[in-house]
A and B are shown apart, each in its own frame.
Chain A
């Protein structure tokens, strides 16, 4: 369009900063992902599909995606409630709770994994109670779900919190003076304002849960067709020196991830258009 690639600028360092950025990005991220695509697609699409098209792989992909979705929905609902409570209410230990929300980001996944397993195993503190009720959590899909809820917990709260802080009280007061009940105000005035940020957090939490490995493998039990997640299947293929098989599942997961990245971006564009730049 006749525009220069880079506009002239008096600030020095263009070559150096562009050089470091593009070199490291290519070497660290783009080249490895290209290698995955080349390796996975080299035998051709039909061969790729044939590799993925086994009951065990479908079961693993379906399990990872389904449980990630359930965990993300839980985190969406609870994350909005948590953000609302932390911003709007005043109670003892509020600041401690606020700081603790980020624990799943800071705690290594392997540490979370063995801790959750110790808690929910049949001889653990919570697992013991569940066992008395005739219910098994660790080494079943329930255990995987708890681990996925744990790792995705902070996303929605952290994206929604700043939006709640920005809401002007006058809006709610106006709604009340016009005769709306509190529940009606929350549903028709507050919730639409939170929706874009909440959906962004939901998508982030979902993407994280689909690919999660460290916190899940300890508690999952890893029984093929039942509690075997897709990332574990990649590790198993690699241990069998089946690079092509691992690459095929890797590409399937990458497609899911990029699909989500696309949705996140679309949601952000949509939210900006709807309520201005947040």
Chain B
């Protein structure tokens, strides 16, 4: 080893598959600057404006009757919308990945429609289907079950905008896992439900949780679709985002930003949990989330 003359040993290995250092540092600085202005500044602003008159003022505005009823309604909407969409997501993923049938590609495209429809158009669709001017709507109103300007409409609007979330997380994972394990369990005499709960569900639980997390964050924070169907009745159909708008337009800045801060905290918790799932259970999530 030591008889190689020192002159032949390169001083440092110069990598060819990357940019020169000054370009690298320029790009890193650029990325930090743009994200600081576009992402971090608005986030900090929410908390800064909420706490502008002290923690006490922020907490007082949150325990206000209007804010409390908004928080309660938003939780209620999520309690209905998220499990229903989770059930849909599981059923759709099972149907699409366990069987072969004609029109599968069309079905997947149809499930994806809500992603490319404006939330306001989504709300409009629900108003036109179930509003008092439609025949379904007038029948529902006559039987004491109004949908539009009432809680069911808000649940439907929230479900529409989050419709594909769970299915999209589960389908790639279930395609990758195949159906050999389920078939083995069946030949051993397990019933369909037993196969689902003891074989399939443990395999997809983290992907399911991932989808449910995203679905919940969007359902609790949905504004455009809910704004169209809610009618914005204080204490009855005003969710947290709707109440934020009303308070903001009345120049109750601290109250609006306090409620916004609660939703921002929810967003941060969602991001942390999502990142933890990506680190810890990457192999059990859809391939695009693996870093």
Distance in angstroms from A239 CB to nearest chain B CB is: 10
Contact pattern, A 7-38, Cβ under 8 Å of B = 1, otherwise 0: 10111111011101100110011111101100
Q: Does A50 sit within 8 A of B, measured CB to CB? A: no
Q: Is B4's CB within 8 Å of the partner chain A? A: no
Residues on B with C-beta less than 8 A from A5 are 101-102
- Tell me whether A102 and B41 are in contact (CB under 8 A): no
By beta carbon, the residue of chain A nearest B225 is: A213
B201 adjacent to chain A (CB < 8 Å):
no
A35-B129, A78-B34, A108-B221 known; A28-B256 Cβ under 8 A: no
Q: What are the interface flags for A197-229 relative to B under an 8 Å C-beta threshold, 1 for contact and 0 otherwise? A: 000000010010011111000100000000000
Question: Is A153 touching B38 in the complex (CB atoms < 8 A)?
Answer: yes
Asked if A133 CB lies within 8 Å of chain B CBs, one says: no
Residues A115 and B159 in contact in the complex (CB < 8 Å), given A21-B92, A213-B223: no
Which residues of A from 84 to 107 have beta carbons under 8 Å from B?
A: 84-86, 88-89, 91, 95, 97-107
Question: Which A residues are closer than 8 A to B by beta carbons?
Answer: 3, 5-7, 9-14, 16-18, 20-21, 24-25, 28-33, 35-36, 39, 78, 81-82, 84-86, 88-89, 91, 95, 97-116, 118-119, 124-126, 146, 149-150, 153, 158-159, 161-162, 165, 169, 172-173, 176-177, 182, 204, 207, 210-214, 218, 230-232, 234-235, 238, 243, 246-247, 250, 253-254, 257-258, 260-261, 264-265
Q: Which residues of B contact A (CB under 8 A)?
A: 16-20, 24, 27-28, 30-32, 34-35, 37-43, 45-46, 49, 84, 87-88, 91-92, 94-96, 98-102, 107, 109-122, 124-129, 131, 133-134, 156, 159-160, 163, 179, 182-183, 186, 191-192, 195-196, 214, 217-218, 220-224, 227-228, 240-242, 244-245, 248, 253, 256-257, 260, 263-264, 267-268, 270-272, 274-275, 287-288, 290-291
